[in-house]
Amino acid sequence: MSVELDTASGGILAYRPEDSSFASSALSTSTTKKVYVRRFDAVTVHGYASPQTYLRPDGVEVLDRSAQVVLIPYAEIKGVYFVREFERNAEAKQKTVFATRPKQNGLWVRFTFRDGEILEGILPNNLLLLEEKGVMATPPDPNANAQRVFVPREAVRELTVLGVIGSPVRRLKRKAKEIPEDQMDLFGGGTPARPAG
C-alpha cells in the first residue's frame, strides 16, 4: 500500500492499495474527509474516510494517520465524527444536547448508547437517506469541530424522536371568518356598528 500525503493541508493526495480486496474501496482525493472514530473502549481513532465507501459489510474503513487501513467492527463503534480539523480533546468540547429547540429542518432525535451516554442530533427528514448500518446526524453545535456523526445501529440502545422541525407539509390556509352584522366597527373598516342600547 502506498499513500501520498499533502503536507500543507494534511489531506491525502493518493491512496494505492496493493491488496486487490481494497481496490473497490480506494479512498479518492476529492471525497476523503477527516474523521475520528469513538469506540466503546474509550480509544479514539483519527484518520480519513471516504463518505461514499467507508461503510463496509463488517465495519467502518478508515485510513489512520499512520497510513494504515483500519477496519473497525460496528459493535465497537460509538460514533464516526466527520470533523473540520484534528484536535486534542475534541470530544470534551463537543456539546451533546441542544440547549433550546433546534432551528435546522429535520427530525430532532436523542440517541441513548449502550453505555448510557446521550447524544442529540438532527436527522434528515427523508427516509431514503437512512443507511442500513446506522444513521447520519448533525450534532447540536453547528460551530463545533464535528460537522456530522454516523451512529451505528449496534451502538444505540434507544433512539427517540423529540420533534419534527420545519415540516415540509404545508398548512392549509383558513378562510377568514364572516363578520357578523351586529359587530361594532372599531377602526372604520366599513362594518356596521352595533346599535347602542
* Grid cell 366599513 in the structure block, residue: 190
Domain locations in the chain as residue ranges: 2-83, 93-165
Listed in sequence order, the residues at least 6 apart from 152 whose beta carbon sits closer than 8 Å to its beta carbon are 60, 74, 75, 77, 79, 133, 134
Same fold, 2-83 and 93-165: yes
- Consecutive sets of 10 residues in the chain, 197 residues long: mean pLDDT of each? 47 42 43 89 90 90 90 94 80 78 91 94 86 90 86 94 79 70 73 54
- The hierarchical CATH code for the domain 2-83 is 2.30.30
Question: Measured between alpha carbons, how far is 182 from 195 in angstroms, rounded to an integer?
Answer: 8
Domain 93-165, CATH among 2.30.30, 3.40.190, 2.60.120, 3.90.660: 2.30.30
Q: What is the mean pLDDT of the chain?
A: 78
Question: Residue 180 in contact with residue 192, Cβ under 8 Å?
Answer: no
**124 DSSP assignment:** -
| H or E stretch at 48 | strand 44-49
Question: Measured between alpha carbons, how far is 51 from 46 in angstroms, rounded to an integer?
Answer: 15
**90 DSSP assignment:** H
Q: Which amino acid is at 50?
A: S
